[in-house]
Amino acid sequence: MFLADINSPDDLRKIPKEELPSLAREVREFIIDVVSEKGGHLGASLGVVELTIALHYVFNTPDDKLVWDVGHQAYAHKILTNRKKQFHTNREFGGISGFPKIDESPYDAFGTGHSSTSISAILGMAIASTLKGNPHRNHITVIGDASIVSGMAFEAMNHAGTTQANVLIILNDNAIGIDPSVGALKDYLAKMKSEKGKNETFFNNLNIKYKGVIDGHNLTELIDAFEILKNEQGVKLLHVITTKGKGLEKAEKEQITYHAPRRFDKITGEQLSEDSSLPAKYQDVFGLTINELAQQNQKIVAITPAMPSGSSLTFMQKSFPERVFDVGIAEQHAVTFSAGLALEGFIPFCVIYSTFLQRAYDQVIHDVALQNIPVIICIDRAGLVGEDGPTHHGVFDMAFLRPIPNLVIASPRNASQLRNLLYTAQLSVNFPFVIRYPRGRCNEMDWQQSFQKIEIGTAEQLKEGSKYAVLSIGSISDNVTKAIHLLKNPEDYAHFDIRFLKPLDESLLHTIFATYKIIFTVEEGSEKGGLGSAIAEFASKNGYNKPLKIIGIPDQFIPHGSVNELQKMIALDHISISEILNNKDI
């Protein structure tokens, strides 16, 4: 037993090299034990256990800088860097993060909740070391899970090849991100693997010294390679082959499912069954609906940046494989590619997680909205997403999209409305249409009803009331309904589902401001710039001075934890909302 005595890489380096495979088995068992009970990103971290051990064994971390990209492959790294005792709190409220985080450990040189940022960051650190008179310090990035295909990684390599920085790029090649890797670079790397590397490579032509291909599960081979490379100056790339899910048979065979599985039996690997009586997930509502619409309309196509399974596009992918385009980790390309399809008469549904759409902001403005091109942007994971934390919460999209001209922006409160908005969007093919919806389960069992077109820019009154108006947008409507039921005088409160952030239902808003004493707005998005701001602007423009209380995500980054815990923390749970509604002192 070695793991029990390891609290830092200093302890790791005391173990004889020939005993390290035993440590690797212990680390894998530890990860499986915890993740089987707690959940988390399993496959990627199992695939880099030997790589992690070898890196910390050879390099003088944390003085030598080590960045993990993508960050969900860093569980073994956390365990070996003084977070073993806290690892059972991984992704829990108040516990350690599921991703590298600068303020969590000096061994986490850079936060990497998104992908493809590591080469830029490590190059900056390496050049800084040179400027400070320490050009021989080692700077290492492990870039894996297909994240090297992103444009930012190419931009960084293009720059790195013009420098004398001391950088080691480790290409963790496992041929899969969450879904199987796609694209010409994937085919090129596969050819290099079959040829066991070659003298002249794409990387050499960028002035990056290519080394490889080596077995990422052979500790002796890894350590020998690192011992050579740590004394070799310049920009280098080591091509390492690993197996995602290594050490758990089920995870090796079903790599997509075991990227981040639900609770499972740690011996057999079998996932524990889910309650079949639960309503559908919003992702499946989207996926089944777009597949149904695609059967009716041959012009419908779907585009995703490496998230077909996460976005439930697999239904349509199975039915119409030639009409679903996985473009890899390339959100910018996904949006502009969709614009090109739209200009040629197709109806593109571009499906991107809210937090990842941030990387394509310029393309939404210049390549879609400015030219008024009818792309349907489906924003998955809008709002709080839970355990993945601040890098994945989709809380800014309403605020950053609302100022953009020509966009229609809608946020359904339930699955039926999501289904009908998707139907409406493909009928309204003259302008860009944005639909945002949350992660997780809806609250309806019978959402698969006949399609109904929704009039764009219309809100809906859900409850009558005599004194106060509560305006909500999106699925937070459920919490508002529950909050009003808790009030002593619920008959005083009217509840409106605004539904369209843009254009607003101004006719209804005039009625609301003329009728009610106090107006409350509730949104699971940034309270700065979202629905509340839009209503405040409307009131100011039209000379209304009624009291207005904006309830939303406060001006801070929200940590990780369950959605219920986080809503309670920021006063968006139904009890907190009820208390705010009951306080008329605004």
83, 91, 244, 413: which one is catalytic?
Answer: 244
CB atoms within 10 A of CB 509: 22
Which residues make Cβ contacts (< 8 Å) with residue 533, sequence separation at least 6? 399, 402, 527, 550
CB atoms within 10 A of CB 431: 16
Give Cα separations from 265 to 39, 268, 274 (angstroms).
12, 6, 13
50, 92, 292, 331: which one is catalytic?
Answer: 331
Q: How far apart are CA 382 and CA 401, in angstroms?
A: 13
Give catalytic status of residue 444 as yes or no. no
78, 359, 381, 549: which one is catalytic?
Answer: 359
Edge-to-edge order in the sheet of strand 139-144:
65-69, 139-144, 167-173, 235-241, 209-215
Q: Is the CB of residue 181 less than 8 Å from the CB of residue 115?
A: no
Which residues make Cβ contacts (< 8 Å) with residue 327, sequence separation at least 6? 182, 183, 303, 304, 305, 306, 333, 334, 337
Task: Tell me how far the alpha carbon of residue 85 is from its chain's centroid.
Answer: 27
Percent of the chain that is helix, strand, coil (3-state, to 5)? 40, 15, 40
Element (H, E) at 229: helix 219-229
Which residues make Cβ contacts (< 8 Å) with residue 100, sequence separation at least 6? 67, 68, 71, 74, 77, 78, 108, 109, 110, 111, 112
Cis omega (within 30 of 0) on the bond before 434? no
Q: Three-state secondary structure along 510-523?
A: HHHHHHCCEEEEEE
Give catalytic status of residue 359 as yes or no. yes
- Specify whether the backbone of 212 is left (phi greater than 0), alpha (psi in -120 to 50) or beta: left
Give catalytic status of residue 331 as yes or no. yes
Rg (CA), the chain: 25
For the residues of 140-171, what is the DSSP string, one character each? EEEEETTGGGSHHHHHHHHHHTTS---EEEEE
Q: In 3D, which of 176, 194, 186, 200 has the Cα closest to residue 254?
A: 176
**Angle at CA 53, nearest 5°, toward 209 and 145?**
60
Which residues make Cβ contacts (< 8 Å) with residue 312, sequence separation at least 6? 281, 283, 284, 286, 287, 288
Q: How far apart are CA 296 and CA 284, in angstroms?
A: 18
Q: Is the CB of residue 531 less than 8 Å from the CB of residue 498?
A: yes
**Catalytic positions:** 244, 331, 359
